[in-house]
């Protein structure tokens, strides 16, 4: 069974999205739930495919807001699935303006996580 592990950055981002972009947050969280359902039957987290999932390299997967009604701002939740420990890390959430910074942060997070296990 997969567990969710939010990072401190995710907690800060989520508080912002609750206040400023609640519909986008709800859409991304709904897709996170769909992703977790797909993971239950997958042997490898990177084998999971859906229109709202975007592989970003280094095992990072972005989950977007697609599939929801309305004209929502493009939003991505950056995750990393540690298949050895069945943990999905919630790293950050952002929009197109913060995408490059969010990706850099996510890459640093995954690199430090991998260093801890080596």
pLDDT in tens, 18-62: 999 999 999 999 999 999 999 998 888 888 999 999 999 999 999
Average pLDDT, the chain: 94
Domain segments of the chain as ranges: 3-117
Q: Yes or no: say if 41 and 32 are a contact pair by the CB < 8 Å rule.
A: no
Residue 4, pLDDT > 80, answer yes
Query: Is residue 72 exposed (0-12), middle (13-18) or buried (19+ Cβ within 10 Å)?
Result: middle
Token pair for 102: 């969010």
69-98 pLDDT per residue, tens: 778 999 999 999 999 999 999 999 999 999
Tokens of 34: 């769909």
**Statement: 3-117 belongs to CATH 3.30.2310.20:** yes
The pTM (predicted TM-score) of the whole model is 0.94
Give every strand in the sheet of 75-82, ordered side by side.
Answer: 3-6, 87-95, 75-82, 60-64, 53-55
């Amino acid at each position: 069974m997969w567990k969710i592990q939010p990072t401190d950055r995710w907690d800060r981002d989520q508080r912002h999205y609750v206040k400023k972009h609640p519909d986008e947050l709800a859409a991304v969280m709904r897709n996170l739930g769909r992703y977790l359902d797909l993971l239950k039957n997958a042997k490898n987290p990177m084998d999971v495919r859906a229109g709202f999932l975007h592989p970003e390299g280094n095992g990072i997967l972005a989950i977007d807001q697609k599939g929801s009604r309305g004209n929502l701002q493009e939003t991505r939740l950056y995750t990393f699935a540690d298949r050895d420990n069945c943990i999905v890390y919630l790293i950050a959430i952002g929009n197109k303006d913060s995408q490059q910074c969010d990706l850099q942060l996510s890459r640093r997070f995954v690199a430090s996580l991998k260093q801890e296990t080596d």
